[in-house]
Structures are given as C-alpha cells and as structure tokens.
Amino acid sequence: MSRKRFIFSFLLAILLAIVLFIIFFPTSYVSRYVTWNFADVKDHYRFPYETITNKPPVFLFTEADNAPALSLPNKYVSKNCKEVEIFLQQHKTTAFLIIRNDTNLFEKYFEGYHKDSILPSFSVVKSVVSALTGIAINECFIESVKQPITDFFPELANHDNRFSNITIENLLNMRSGIKYNEGYFNPFADMAKFYYGTNLKKYTLDAQISEKPGQRYDYISVNTQLLALIIEKATEMPLNVFFEDKIWKPLGMENKATWNYDSEEHHTIKAFCCLNGCARDFARFGRLYLNYGIWRGEPVVPGEWVRRSTSIMNDSRDSQNYPYTYNWRVLDDQEAFFAKGILGQYVYVDRKKNLIFIRFGKGYAGIDWVDFFRELSEQL
C-alpha cells in the first residue's frame, strides 16, 4: 500500500469512527463538540436556561445631544477602512457602546443585532461570579476569602486532603493548583466536558490536584464553577436566583437575561461561561464597578471588594500579559480594568476618564481590543 493511500485510509477510518460515535452516542459531550464545534454566539439557544427577570424602575443612560465625532485611530486605518463604524463591522463586532458620565456617546449594532438582542457573555460572567462572591462574604454566608473550599465540600478532602489547602481566594485568582485542561480545540479536554456535558457538578467535584495552591496563575474554568457551587451551598439559593436578587434587579436592568445550565436532570448553572443579556445591561454592570459598587446611592457590591478586585495583587497575568485579580483583568497603571469573553466580549472600564466600553462580537478578528479602547479614549 502506498503512503498516500495509507494516509487516506487512516483518515477515512477516523472520520467513520467519529460518525459512528455521533450516531450511537448522540448525547455525549464529545458528540456535541463534534456536531456543534467551537463555541459561537448562538450557543445560548442550544442549552437549557433559566430566565433572569428585571425589576423597575429601569436605570437609563442619557442619550448624548452632541456626541463627539470619533476618528479611527491611525494604526487601524487601511485603504478599505477609514471610519470607526466600518472598522467595527469589518471585524466581527455585534455590539459596541461607549458610556461616559452616564451618557451614551456611541452605540452601534451589526450582523442583525439590536439594542434588545440577547448576547452571550462567555467568560465575562466570571467577573459577575466574583461580584457575587463579594456579596456573599459581605452578608456573612462565606467567612472570608481565606476560607477553605472543603468547608463547603468536605468530600473533596476525602479523596485528596490537599483540597483543604485551597481557599476561596485561590479560586478567584486562578491559583488553585487544580488539574484541568482548558483547551478549547480538544474534544476530550476538560473544557469540552464542562461546556457540552450534562452533569457539571459531578465533573467539578471529581477534580484532581496537580500542584500546591497559590504557586502560580493557571486560567481554568473549573475554579469559577467550583466558586459558584460554593456560593449556592453557602446561600442555600440557586446561583441564578442569588444573582437576580442581588445584582440584576437592584441595577434596574433594561431587559431580562438568561443563564444556561447543563441539563434538565442535573440543573447546574454553567457559571464559568453562560450568562446572556443585552449590551446595555452589561454596561450597567460596568457602571456598578466604575462607581465602587454603589448604585443609586446604595451599596450593591462592597466598595472594598471592588477596590481589591481592580488592583494588582500578585504576579498573575493572563495570556496577553494583563494582571489578573479576582476574575478581572487590570491594566498596569491600575486606572482601567476589564472582563473578557472568548469571542471578544469586553466590559472595559476606564476609571480615570469615567468611560465604559462594551464590545461583543463573533470573534477577535485579530484585534487587540483593549488597545483599541485605549486609542479611542484618547479622543474623549
């Protein structure tokens, strides 16, 4: 058999195996991964979800009478694109907002989306779970960030007593030492199981240790999922209900939101990825952190928690070298911070200039969006 024929036969056999796997195991997470492939902006319709209800009065941003004209920064100008709006449209953007001093300066939607469209936030939600953690500590459901996670799930220590050394803070800072494969392109990785699987709580509590906690930064979604399970255990409330009561309703959100869960049988909220809402409401969440957790004169998230979350705490840095603290990325000058999702979802807050940027999209399109925000902010 020739080499080319052997390779062709081998690839054909793999393809046949995949097809047979999908036919005979259609509900497995691997089959879902192969069928649905990489995460996309329509995934929130594929999974079951809880509805997060809002409550009047709605908090409204003021519409600018004379919004400043924005010029596309020179480094992004090309012969085919010289305008901000065209640039956004050409680079997979679905929603883009700029808010300053509670005034809506710029708001554009693309790809058929509009102001009331429900958009997936992906890992932006990790910053929401961080806020819920601060609230739970403030309300004495959780003692402190130093509390061991085995206080809530002692069964973890039963199969490895090293879990007793992991604290709430280790989870928040992505320094837990838990073994987990975050690979997005591997159907057999832990991430595929968490995202497409149907028994999320079991997967989370079956976790294993790879190293001593606190030693190094390792961005893994199991940390946020475990944190969410702890919040539920401590508050004796479903995560979506706690979120609705403590953040969504108090902020006077404009629309309802949805939060996906794993399956009808197990009903575990996918806390590491899957809160979905309209762009304006994510801007309201950014405003909450811009104002140190105060909303309409009342504390929603403790101010000290916000300060700690948006400060550099240690040497944790993400893949783009941004400092990482309590599920937020912080710029080195500590004057701006942001939450980020896998397809280029951003809630970016510039405290120095009192600016909020919201960018949601179908992908990064090769753009460093934080740099783009900073370039635009120079004009404002």
DSSP letter at 276? E
Residue 112: pLDDT band (50, 70, 90) is: very high
For residues 219-231, average pLDDT = 98
Provide, rounded to the nearest whole percent, the portion of the chain with pLDDT above 70: 90
pLDDT exceeds cutoff 70 at 26:
no
pLDDT exceeds cutoff 70 at 8:
no
Q: How confident is the model at residue 73, as a pLDDT? A: 96
For residues 89-115, average pLDDT = 97
pLDDT exceeds cutoff 60 at 18:
no
Specify the 3-state DSSP secondary structure of 250: coil
Q: How confident is the model at residue 34, as a pLDDT? A: 52
Which tens digits make up the pLDDT trace of 198-210? Answer: 999 999 999 999 9
For residues 317-339, average pLDDT = 97
Q: How confident is the model at residue 45, as a pLDDT? A: 87
Q: How confident is the model at residue 44, as a pLDDT? A: 87
Which tens digits make up the pLDDT trace of 146-174? Answer: 999 999 999 999 989 999 999 999 999 99
Q: How confident is the model at residue 32, as a pLDDT? A: 53
Provide, rounded to the nearest whole percent, the portion of the chain with pLDDT above 90: 82
pLDDT exceeds cutoff 50 at 377:
yes
Which tens digits make up the pLDDT trace of 29-45? Answer: 555 555 555 578 888 88
Q: How confident is the model at residue 188, as a pLDDT? A: 73
Q: How confident is the model at residue 295, as a pLDDT? A: 98
CB 41 within 8 A of CB 353: no
Which tens digits make up the pLDDT trace of 47-94? Answer: 999 999 999 999 999 999 888 889 999 999 998 899 999 999 999 999
| The token pair that represents 305 in the structure block | 């928690």
User: Is the previous residue joined to 57 through a cis bond, with omega within 30 degrees of 0?
Assistant: yes
Q: How confident is the model at residue 3, as a pLDDT? A: 60
For residues 359-366, average pLDDT = 97
As a three-state string, the secondary structure of 40-106 is: CCCHHHCCCEEEECCCCCCCCCEECCCCCCCCCCHHHCECCECCHHHHHHHCCEEEEEEEECCEEEE
DSSP letter at 344? S
CA–CA gap between residue 348 and residue 152 (Å, rounded): 33
Which tens digits make up the pLDDT trace of 131-140? Answer: 999 999 999 9
Distances from the Cα of 126 to the Cα of 45, 81, 132, 187, 273, angstroms: 20, 34, 10, 23, 7
Which residues, listed in sequence order, are joined to residue 350 by a DSSP beta bridge? 336, 355
